[in-house]
Amino acid sequence: MSSKPMPLAKQRTVRLQTLPLSAHKQQQIYELLHAFRLAKDQFLVELAPAKTWGFLDSKRGFRDAMKKAGAYPAGVNVHLVDQAAFDAVDTWVRHIESVLATGDVKAKIWRRYRGDELQRRFAYTCLNRYGWIGEILRGQVPVVGSKELAGLGEKERTQVARYLHRVLRKALSKHENPRAHAERSMSLDDTLYTTFTTSAPPAARPARLGTHTCDPEHRRCRQGHMRQYVEIIGCEPGARIALPLAGVSHVSGNIGLVADEDADGVAIHVVYPVKALGEATGPDESIDWGVTEVCTDAHGIKHGHGLGRLLEEFTEKNNAAGKARGKLHATTRALRKVNPGSRKARRIARNNLGHKKQARWRARAQSGVRTLSGQAVKEVVYGAGNRTRGRGRVPQLAYQRPRRLAAEDLSHLRGKAKSKKLSRICSTWMRSENQGRMVVHASIGGVDAKTANAAYTSQTCPEPTCGYVSRDNRQGDAFHCRNPYWDCNWQGDADHVAAMNLLARLADREIGVYTHHTEVKTILDERFRRRRESRVGARAVPQGTAGNGVQGACVEDGATAHGRTPSKPRGPRLVVGGGDATDSQSPEHAACSGETQRLESEKKRRA
Where does this chain bind Zn ion (CB under 5 A)?
461, 463, 466, 468, 481, 483, 488, 490
Residue closer to Zn ion by CB (options 140, 567) is 567
Give min distance, CB of 483 to Zn ion, in A.
Answer: 5
Residue closer to Zn ion by CB (options 57, 525) is 525
Encode burial over 435-454: b for 16+ CB neighbours within 10 A, e otherwise: bbbbbbbbbbbbbbbbbbbb
Give min distance, CB of 554 to Zn ion, in A.
Answer: 19
Residue closer to Zn ion by CB (options 237, 572) is 572
Give min distance, CB of 479 to Zn ion, in A.
Answer: 9
Residue closer to Zn ion by CB (options 303, 531) is 531
Residue closer to Zn ion by CB (options 463, 493) is 463
Residue closer to Zn ion by CB (options 383, 467) is 467
Element holding 450 (H helix, E strand): strand 448-452
Whether 239 contacts 165, CB under 8 Å:
no
Q: How many CB atoms lie under 10 A from the CB of residue 598?
A: 16
Identify the DSSP state of 298: T
Give min distance, CB of 460 to Zn ion, in A.
Answer: 9
Handedness of CA 63, 101, 3, 494 (dihedral sign): positive
Give min distance, CB of 407 to Zn ion, in A.
Answer: 24
Numbers of helices and strands, H then E, in the chain: 16, 16
Whether 185 contacts 259, CB under 8 Å:
yes
Whole-number Å distance between alpha carbons of 513 and 492 = 26
Helix (H, G, I), strand (E, B) or coil at 396: coil
φ/ψ of 486, rounded to 5, equals -145, 175
Handedness of CA 184, 190, 193, 199 (dihedral sign): positive
Give min distance, CB of 363 to Zn ion, in A.
Answer: 45
Give min distance, CB of 507 to Zn ion, in A.
Answer: 20
Give min distance, CB of 528 to Zn ion, in A.
Answer: 9
3-state per-residue secondary structure call for 314-336: HHHHHHHHHHHHHHHHHHHHHHH
Residue closer to Zn ion by CB (options 200, 481) is 481
Give min distance, CB of 571 to Zn ion, in A.
Answer: 12
Task: Name 16's bridge partners.
Answer: 268
Element holding 272 (H helix, E strand): strand 266-273
Helix segments in 339-423, DSSP class H: 343-352, 356-382
Residue closer to Zn ion by CB (options 171, 466) is 466
Whole-number Å distance between alpha carbons of 573 and 576 = 10
Residue closer to Zn ion by CB (options 126, 488) is 488
Whole-number Å distance between alpha carbons of 515 and 290 = 23
